[in-house]
Amino acid sequence: MPVSDCELTQMFEHVLKLSKVDATQSVAVLKSHYSNARTVRAAMDAAQRLGAKVYAVELPSFNHPKAMGNDMTAYCGDTALTGNIAAQRALEAADLIVDTMMLLHSPEQEQILKTGTRILLAVEPPEVLARMLPTVADKERVLAAEQVLKAARSIQVKSRAGSDFRAQLGQYPSVTEYGFADEPGRWDHWPSGFLFSWPNEETAEGTLVIDVGDIVLPFKTYSREQITLEIDKGFITGIHGGFEAEYLREYLKYFNDPEVYGISHIGWGLQPRAQWTAMGLHEKNDGMCMDARAFYGNFLFSTGPNTEVGGTRKTPCHLDIPLRRCDIYLDDQAVVLAGEVVAPEASKA
C-alpha cells in the first residue's frame, strides 16, 4: 500500500540513526534522473533532521552498448562514475553515501569504501522499504549466522528437486547484509537480510536444479520448468531443460565471455519479512527485487564477478538465483533444512 512522504522520511531517519548519522556526520545523496525522487528527498530531509551536513551528487545516466534491459544488476563494471574523479572525490569526502542510482560491482565503489566512507544502497520502492525496515534484531540474526559461515571449510546443498552441490570455503571472506551501514567502509543495502561467501577457486562442483517456482534475477521471473546446471571446477559446464534452459544458455552466450559461467557468491536468506511471492506484485522495473534475494531460508547462489573480494573474475554478467526448499550444510552442521533455517538459533522478530 502507498507510503506517505512523511512516513518515508521517518523511515529514513530510523535507518540513518542505525547507520550512526548525527550532527558530526556528512551525508552525500548520490542520484541520477532515474532515481526515485521521493527517496532522494526523504534521504536528504532525514539527514538534515539529524543535524548532518547534507549534499547531493547528481550524475548523468550511463548505458553500456552491451547492456540489456533496465535492471541495474544486469550489467556489472562501468557506471556513470567511471572516470569521473571529481565526483568520486566528492563522494569520498562524505561519512555516508545514500546511493539511489546503483554503484554495485564497480571498482569506484570499492575505492570509495577503502577511504572509510560508508555506503547505503536504497533503490527499492518505498512500500518495500517500509515492509523490510531494518532492525537491530536483523543485524544480530545475520551476524550470528556469519560466525558459523566464517568457521566453515565446506558447504553442501541438496534438494528434492535434484540439487547436489558442494564447494570448499575459506579463500574468500564472508559478507553480511542487514540493511544499514554502521561501520567505517561498510556497504549495505536497505532492504536486505542475508549473508554469503565465495567458493574456493575450482572447488565448486555438482548439480544445482532451478525448480518450478524458483527465481532467476535479473530476469525477475518465476521458473515454470526445471533447469539443471552442471558445475565442475567452479564453472557451469552444462545447462539442461526446456525453453527456459535454452533462454538462459543464449543469455549467457551473448556476453561472449567464459567467465560469466563462474559460480560467484553463495549463501542463504535470513529476512522473515521478505516474501517469495512479492515479485509477482511488482512491475519488472520496480527496484531490484530484494525480496527474492533475502526471503527466509532460500539458498542464494550467483554467477559472474568476484572482484569485490579480491578475486580476478571481472565480467559484466551477474545472475542471482534463490532456490527454495534446499538443505544447506556447513561442514557437517545443517543451517537450513527444506528451506527452514535451523542454525544458528536466532529470533525472527
pLDDT in tens, 199-209: 999 999 999 99
pLDDT at 132 over 80: yes
Q: Last residue of a domain, which of 123, 158, 185? A: 123
Distance (Å, whole) CA 287 – CA 39: 12
Using alpha carbons, select from 233, 215, 204 the residue that is nearest to residue 320. 215
Considering the chain, what is the average pLDDT of its residues?
95
| 20 shares its domain with 84 | yes
Whether residue 347 is contained in a domain is answered as no
Between 31 and 349, the more confident residue is 31
Name every residue whose Cβ is closer than 8 Å to that of residue 250 and which is 6 or more positions away in sequence: none
| 187 shares its domain with 104 | no
Please state the rounded mean pLDDT for residues 262-282. Answer: 97
Q: Work out how many domains the chain is built from and give that number.
A: 2
- What integer pLDDT is reported at residue 345 of this predicted model? 63
Q: Which domain holds residue 317?
A: 133-341
pTM score, two decimals?
0.96
pLDDT at 74 over 90: no
Chain centre distance of CA 86: 27
Long-range contacts of 140-143 (CB under 8 A, 24+ apart): 140/346, 141/178, 141/193, 141/270, 141/346, 141/347, 141/348, 142/176, 142/177, 142/178, 142/193, 142/194, 142/195, 142/270, 143/176, 143/178
Using alpha carbons, select from 264, 265, 225, 268 the residue that is nearest to residue 248. 225
| 227 shares its domain with 90 | no
pLDDT at 341 over 90: yes
Whether residue 252 is contained in a domain is answered as yes
- What integer pLDDT is reported at residue 105 of this predicted model? 78
pLDDT at 286 over 70: yes
Distance (Å) of CA 227 to CA 178, 201, 222, 297: 30, 24, 12, 20
Contact 199, 168 (CB under 8 A): yes
- Give 77-111 pLDDT, tens digit per residue: 788 899 999 999 999 999 999 999 998 778 899 99
- Give 4-56 pLDDT, tens digit per residue: 999 999 999 999 999 999 999 999 999 999 999 999 999 999 999 999 999 99
Phi and psi for 347 in degrees, rounded to 5? -70, 145
| 212 shares its domain with 83 | no
- Give 181-236 pLDDT, tens digit per residue: 999 999 999 999 999 999 999 999 999 999 999 999 999 999 999 999 999 999 99
Using alpha carbons, select from 211, 215, 248, 243 the residue that is nearest to residue 226. 211
Distance (Å) of CA 205 to CA 227, 229, 231, 252: 16, 10, 5, 19
Tell me the CATH number at 85. 3.40.50.2300
| 38 shares its domain with 169 | no
Q: What percent of the chain has pLDDT over 90?
A: 87
Contact 268, 300 (CB under 8 A): yes
Distance (Å) of CA 52 to CA 20, 46, 213, 319: 11, 9, 45, 37
